[in-house]
Structure 1
Amino acid sequence: MTNSNEFANKKQSILSKTLGSKTRILLLLIGFWTIFILLSLFFCLDLWAIQQKSKSGNPDNKKAKDYKLKGLYSFYSNHNSVAIKYLKKSLLSTAEDKELCELVALAYLRQNDNQEAAFWFEKAKLWSMASFYRQISHPFEVLPGCESAQLAFMDSSYPFYPIVEVKMNNQSFLFLIDTGSSTTLVDMQLAHKLGINGKEHSQLVLSKGKQTKALLGTIESMSLGQWVIKNVPVLIVEELHRKSNGKECNFQGVLGMDFLSRFNLLLDYPARKVKFHRKNRHAAGLVPAGSRLVAKIPLLLSPQGLCLLQGKCNSKVIFFLFDTGSRDYPLEFYKESSKEFKFSEGSSGYLLDHLHFGSITIHKAKGIFTSVPFGISHPAEIPFCGIIGNSLFHRYKVLLDFDRMVMELFL
């Protein structure tokens, strides 16, 4: 009997232990599945949130893009302090962008703040530009005196070509006024004659998007009519003498947009002269008495400083680069524009039925197509259509007012 009871007790003990083990295993399984379900639910919710965020766009990235766009528009409008503010905000909201850093540097250059420009060129990894501009303390400094300076166009093989006489070291040299060049240039021969030692290499942007390497240097002093201008940054290139159709046009330098946009200027084609005027003054004083205003055309400056004129075709706003250094054709259309506008073929080019600049309408505007892409990035809202050569407006007195960012045409 005793053995029977002991056996029953052992059996009961084993059953209890087995039941306890199974219970613990069941509880562990329940706990595991509970944790798994909760983690899965949390992961799904997190994944849903990520998907929703990606659908709506990352707020920080969107904010950075908005700031960048505002900065670019301000930059194109020549509102440089506003451009700097928004471009810096864009940089704070996103990873460091070398292109944005370069834009900030260029905006500071427009304000003649070379030290800040050098700092931002370094951030853009443009070491040679940073080193060069750090050495120039007061660029484009016009010595006190006259409010304006006037120069006559020199004779050349090309009509309407604005070549003027510039004096340096008591010697006279010929310079082309070229709104299609981002930078002021001298050829190597002139640099040697003036003792300009090129130190750093840089890229030059030409009107048709071409780029060429050159040496950076500084003209210590140059005279334009009644003005003396100190510390003019220049790029030194191999040769500037250009031939076309058997003709040669000799000039030793180019006054580019980095120089021209610091003043207001009147290109008086009928009288064959140019007049420079200090900015922040009343530019209307440049225009001869009795002149009649016939058109007012908004203009922009690309990041590299090239002059862009606003036009219209089929009610669409378009932009043309105004290039006083383009002598062969009054108009050049980018091939891409043929997809959007209807051209007809003429005897020596292509014709666009109507092209509007301010209150002027050009009927059957004639030009050629060029396949050369414009080598400067720009917002899609600023569509480029082509290039305007200096002969298109040769009937007019052309006022470039960089204070009000407008071109005015007078008869």
Structure 2
Amino acid sequence: MATAAVDRCGRRRGLVVLAVAALLAGCSASTAATGGQVAVPMQILNTMTLVNVQVNDSHYHAVFLLDTGANLTVLTPLYAGRLGIAVPDNARRKTIRAVGGAPHSIPLVKVARLAVGDAVVESMDVGVYEAFPQSRAIDGILGADFLNRFNLTLDRTNGRLLLHPVGR
């Protein structure tokens, strides 16, 4: 009986994440403000902050979990495949540790461009890892390797993530 409740709850959570992903897809425009600040739509779902991310020149705006505690930005294998990014057998690897979990050695690939609205980082190594086996609606994790290049503000009232380049 407990398993059925967990399955229903997991399915319901998956449907909610899918609905939020659809909403974010319709809110992909960013606005550049004075001083190089960028404001992009975000959705907060329980404890998850979700934002649209564009990798390379893809027209597909992916949904990433914003995670200031993650050192590395990560693509799911499914999303990497959609982008045509193959992980070579001899790819460099990095060890990551999920909260409360065991260490995992994950392959790194280089992306030419990673953008959250008009906030862009070029030539960036990202991991490829199945971070969300229960949800196909989240395409990756936006980690500190991207976020530390910006001062960021979560404007919960207006549903926006504000990014201002460090040093400007």
Place the TM-score, normalised by the shorter chain, in its bin: 0.5 to 0.7
Q: Is contact 2:73-2:126 (8 Å) kept?
A: yes
Aligned CA RMSD, in angstroms, stands at 2.3
Distance (whole Å) between structure 1 residues aligned to residue 85 and residue 107 of structure 2: 10
1:189 maps to a residue whose letter is: L
Are 1:250 and 2:137 an aligned pair?
yes
For structure 2, the 5+ residue unaligned runs are 1-33
In the other structure, the counterpart of 1:267 is: 154
In the other structure, the counterpart of 1:223 is: 115
In the other structure, the counterpart of 2:131 is: 240
After superposition, the Cα gap between the structure-2 partners of 1:146 and 1:196, relative to the gap in structure 1 and judged at 3 Å, is: farther
After superposition, the Cα gap between the structure-2 partners of 1:215 and 1:146, relative to the gap in structure 1 and judged at 3 Å, is: farther
Higher RCO structure, 1 or 2 (CA under 8 Å, sep 6+): 2
Distance (whole Å) between structure 2 residues aligned to residue 152 and residue 204 of structure 1: 28
Are 1:151 and 2:40 an aligned pair?
yes
Structure 1 segment 1-400 matched on structure 2, within 5 A: 147-154=36-43, 158-168=45-55, 169-198=58-87, 199-208=91-100, 210-237=102-129, 239-241=130-132, 243=134, 248=135, 250-281=137-168
What is the TM-score of this pair, normalised by structure 2?
A: 0.67
Secondary structure of 2:138 counterpart: coil
Q: Is contact 1:181-1:207 (8 Å) kept?
A: no
Q: Is contact 2:121-2:146 (8 Å) kept?
A: no
Distance (whole Å) between structure 2 residues aligned to residue 207 and residue 195 of structure 1: 30
2:94 maps to a residue whose letter is: S
2:138 maps to a residue whose letter is: F
CA deviation after TM superposition for structure 1 residue 262, in Å = 1.8
Higher helix proportion (structure 1 or 2): 1
Q: Is contact 1:186-1:254 (8 Å) kept?
A: yes
CA deviation after TM superposition for structure 1 residue 231, in Å = 1.1
Secondary structure of 2:145 counterpart: helix
Higher strand proportion (structure 1 or 2): 2
Distance (whole Å) between structure 2 residues aligned to residue 151 and residue 257 of structure 1: 17
What is the TM-score of this pair, normalised by structure 1?
A: 0.29
Distance (whole Å) between structure 1 residues aligned to residue 162 and residue 54 of structure 2: 16
CA deviation after TM superposition for structure 1 residue 229, in Å = 2.6
2:104 maps to a residue whose letter is: T
Secondary structure of 2:164 counterpart: strand
Q: Is contact 2:119-2:163 (8 Å) kept?
A: no
For structure 1, the 5+ residue unaligned runs are 1-144, 282-411
Secondary structure of 2:167 counterpart: coil
Secondary structure of 2:61 counterpart: strand
Secondary structure of 1:250 counterpart: coil
1:150 maps to a residue whose letter is: A
CA deviation after TM superposition for structure 1 residue 233, in Å = 1.1
**1:267-325 residue CA offsets vs partner (Å, 9 max, x unmatched):** 122322211111123xxxxxxxxxxxxxxxxxxxxxxxxxxxxxxxxxxxxxxxxxxxx
CA deviation after TM superposition for structure 1 residue 186, in Å = 0.5
Identity of aligned residues (%): 25
After superposition, the Cα gap between the structure-2 partners of 1:230 and 1:270, relative to the gap in structure 1 and judged at 3 Å, is: same
2:158 maps to a residue whose letter is: A
